[in-house]
Amino acid sequence: MGTYLQQGLWLLCLFVAFVQVWILCSRGKHPKETPGYRRWLWKRKGKALLRLFCCMGLCALVTVAPILHKELEHQFPLFKQAETYVAEKMAPTAEKPDWLCYYNQKDEPWGSQTYGPVDLIADTGCGPTVLAMVVSSLSEEAVTPKEMADWAYENGYCSVGSGSFHTLIGEGLSAFGFSNHTAQSGEEVKEALRNHQVVVALMGEGHFTGSGHFILLCNIDDADTVFVADSNHEENMERRWPLETILEEAKPSPVTDSAFWIVETPVAQAEEISK
C-alpha cells in the first residue's frame, strides 16, 4: 500500500466504513411507535450509505494516487514543474555552519584573477574554490581560491577553457592530507553525511548549473535535506536542499564513474561539526 500515510488513511476509511455498515444493519433507538419512524429510519440509513460510498471512493483514491501522480508527471510536464516550484518555496531555510570557511569564486580579489593562462576564477574556478573551502575549513591551513587555482594549474589539473579535470578533487584532497574516496551509491553519500563527513559533488544540468559544477555538501538532517556550499551561487545557501534532488542532478565523472568524493574528516573535526 505504500507509505505509512496511505496505510493510516486506509485504516481510517475502513473504520468509518465499518461504522456505516453497522448503522445500515441496525434499526436505531427511535421508538417504532413514534410517528415518522419509517421516514427517520430511511433518512438515517441513506446518510450512512452516502458516507459508505464516500469511504469506498477515498480508499480507491488512496490506492491509485501514486499511479495517478506518476502518470500526471509523464503526461503533463508542467505538473512536475509546479510541484517542484511549490516544494522549493516551502523548503526550510539554511544557516551556514560555523566551522565552514566559505569562498565565492566571483569575490575579489581572486574573482578577476586567472585560473591558468587565460580563464578567470570567477568563470571556471569552482573546482579550486571548493577544494580551498575543504582545506581551509577542516585543517589549520588557510588556502585562498587563487592559491588553490595556481596549485591546480601548476600540477596539471586546469582544463583550459572548461574548468578543471575531475581528478583535481580526489588527488587534490590527498595532496593536502585528506583521505578520501568516491561514492558509488546514494546510500553511501547519505551515510557519509550522517557521519558528519563532507562530500564534494559534481553536478550536471539542473538547479546548480547548465553544464558542470562542483559543490560541497554537509549537515544532513532527519528529513534528508542538506546544506550546499555553492561557490558560484551564494543564494543556494539560503535554503536546505533535498538529497534526492542532488542525487538526481549529479553528473558522474567518466574518470571515476562517480559524482561524489567523500572527505574522510578527522574524528576530532567530525565531533566539532556535529555540535
Q: Which residues contact 68 (CB under 8 A, 6 or more apart)?
A: none
DSSP state of 250: B
The cell numbers describing 174, all together, are 590527498
Please tell me which residue, 275 or 137, carries the higher pLDDT value.
137
pLDDT for 49 equals 76
Long-range pairs for 204-213: beta carbons < 8 A, 24 or more residues apart: 204/249, 204/250, 204/251, 204/259, 205/249, 205/251, 206/245, 206/248, 206/249, 207/236, 207/241, 207/245, 207/249, 208/233, 208/236, 208/249, 212/163, 212/251, 213/126
Per DSSP, the chain holds a count of helices (H) and strands (E) of 10, 10
Q: Which residue bears the cell 562530500?
A: 199
Pick the CATH number of 114-274 from 3.10.129.10, 3.30.930.10, 3.90.70.10, 3.20.20.70: 3.90.70.10
Residue 58 has pLDDT above 90, yes or no: no
Residue 86 has pLDDT above 80, yes or no: no
pLDDT for 6 equals 60
Show the DSSP H helices in 182-227 as ranges: 186-194
pLDDT for 56 equals 73
pLDDT for 274 equals 45
Alpha-carbon dihedral of residues 187, 192, 198, 199, nearest 10 degrees?
A: -30
**138-165 pLDDT, tens digit each:** 999 999 999 999 999 999 999 999 999 9
Cα–Cα distance for residue pair 103/229, rounded to 1 Å: 9
**236-269 pLDDT, tens digit each:** 999 999 999 999 999 999 999 999 999 986 534 5
Residue 136 has pLDDT above 60, yes or no: yes
Asked whether the bond before 109 is cis by omega within 30 degrees of 0, the reply is yes
Domain coordinates in residue numbering, the chain:
4-89, 114-274
Cα–Cα distance for residue pair 201/255, rounded to 1 Å: 14
Q: Given pLDDT bands bounded at 50, 70 and 90, which one contains residue 37?
A: low
Mean pLDDT of 123-137: 97
Q: Supply the pTM of this predicted model.
A: 0.67
